[in-house]
């Protein structure tokens, strides 16, 4: 339990609880009914609900207590603990950070933060708080053993190597130079990998741009050809069909009148016409026998 200005609150609660948790809860609730401002009773009710896994009720008690005791590290810690039991790690971390603002050198809080960050997958922050926890507790050897073991399991973990360099430097160990060389080499490798990934992405983006440009050009050509075809079709539609008489596009009347500049023509003799008339005159008459050839 974190020592704080309300450290004495947990004592009577621990003694009263045990197997009679339910009765203890009723006892503390009765104390609250008698004195709603009794912080000790409210704290112990929260602990009791926490033990009974009635987490919403426990959280309600601790939040009410936090409104009264704003800078109580122990109350802040219990709120973080309830959120952790609820599997809400991000909220638990936020409340633990408030605890650190009140007691920045407490190894237990620092270790808990390292644990939660580790569960969240944030190895960098996890190593940071683990390191601070070991340093504050003065247990450098345990920290060194832990990071060495981690390095064996995850040789490409940059953060682990950084803290090994710091630990070995703090302890004056020659291993610091070896770990520093490993760290420098690993950072260089990661930098090269990042550049290769970036180059490959840029290259694929350029190829894609060229393909899109080519597609746009083809599309423009197709549109141009299509436009020309439409204009040609429009012209063809103005011409007559194969089964239709030709009609001029200009609907003008034909002037049939003509005046010969040399004057009127001389009329030809109409002998042939006369002859035909004379012949017609005799057509209906009968010829006499005396006119027939002998």
Give residue-wise pLDDT tens across range 234-286: 554 554 444 444 344 444 454 545 455 555 555 555 544 444 444 544 445 45
* Distance in angstroms (rounded) separating the CA atoms of residues 267 and 265: 6
Residue 88 has pLDDT above 90, yes or no: yes
What mean pLDDT, rounded, does the chain reach? 74
Question: Domain 104-194 adopts which CATH fold?
Answer: 1.25.40
Q: Are 186 and 161 spatial neighbours (Cβ–Cβ below 8 Å)? A: yes
In this prediction, residue 40 has a pLDDT band, given cuts at 50, 70 and 90, of: confident
Short-list 80, 75, 96, 95, CA closest to 9: 75
In this prediction, residue 143 has a pLDDT band, given cuts at 50, 70 and 90, of: confident
Q: What homologous superfamily does CATH list for 1-88?
A: Tetratricopeptide repeat domain (1.25.40.10)
Total-model pTM? 0.57
Domains in the chain: boundaries: 1-88, 104-194
Number of C-beta neighbours around residue 187 at 10 A: 13
Percent of the chain whose pLDDT exceeds 90: 36
Is 1-88's fold the same as 104-194's?
yes
Handedness of CA 90, 95, 101, 103 (dihedral sign): negative
Q: Are 76 and 99 spatial neighbours (Cβ–Cβ below 8 Å)? A: yes
* Distance in angstroms (rounded) separating the CA atoms of residues 105 and 84: 21
- Model pLDDT for residues 192-240, shown as the tens digit of each residue: 988 888 888 877 665 555 555 555 555 555 555 556 556 655 554 554 4
Half-sphere CA count of 269, side-chain side, radius 13 A: 3
Give me the pLDDT at residue 34, please.
Answer: 64
* Distance in angstroms (rounded) separating the CA atoms of residues 126 and 113: 7
Q: Are 183 and 201 spatial neighbours (Cβ–Cβ below 8 Å)? A: no
DSSP character for 286? P
* Distance in angstroms (rounded) separating the CA atoms of residues 190 and 179: 16
* Distance in angstroms (rounded) separating the CA atoms of residues 294 and 292: 6
* Distance in angstroms (rounded) separating the CA atoms of residues 238 and 250: 12
Bigger pLDDT: 137 vs 7: 137
């Amino acid at each position: 339990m974190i020592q704080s200005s309300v450290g004495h609150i947990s004592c009577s609660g621990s003694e009263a609880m045990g197997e009679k948790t339910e009765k203890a809860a009723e006892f503390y609730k009765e104390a609250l009914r008698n004195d709603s401002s009794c912080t000790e009773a409210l704290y112990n009710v929260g602990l009791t609900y926490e033990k009974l896994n009635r987490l919403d009720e426990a959280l309600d008690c601790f939040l009410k207590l936090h409104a009264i005791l704003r800078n109580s590290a122990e109350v802040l810690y219990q709120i973080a603990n309830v959120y952790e039991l609820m599997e809400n790690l991000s909220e638990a971390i936020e409340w633990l950070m408030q605890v650190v603002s009140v007691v920045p050198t407490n190894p237990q809080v620092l270790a808990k933060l390292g644990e939660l960050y580790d569960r969240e997958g944030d190895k960098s922050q996890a190593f940071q708080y683990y390191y601070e926890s070991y340093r504050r507790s003065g247990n450098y050897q345990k920290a060194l053993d832990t990071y060495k073991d981690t390095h064996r399991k995850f040789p490409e973990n940059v953060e682990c190597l950084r803290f090994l360099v710091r630990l070995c430097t703090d302890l004056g160990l020659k291993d610091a130079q070896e770990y520093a060389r490993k760290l420098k080499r690993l950072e260089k490798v990661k930098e090269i990998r990042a550049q290769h990934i970036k180059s490959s992405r840029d290259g694929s983006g350029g190829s894609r741009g060229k393909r899109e440009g080519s597609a746009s050009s083809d599309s423009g050509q197709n549109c141009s050809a299509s436009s020309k075809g439409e204009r040609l079709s429009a012209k063809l539609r103005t011409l007559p069909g194969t089964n239709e008489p030709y009609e001029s596009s200009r609907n003008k009347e034909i002037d049939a009148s003509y005046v010969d500049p040399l004057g009127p023509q001389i009329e030809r003799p109409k002998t042939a016409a006369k002859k035909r008339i004379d012949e017609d005159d005799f057509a209906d008459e009968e010829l006499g026998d005396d006119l027939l050839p002998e």
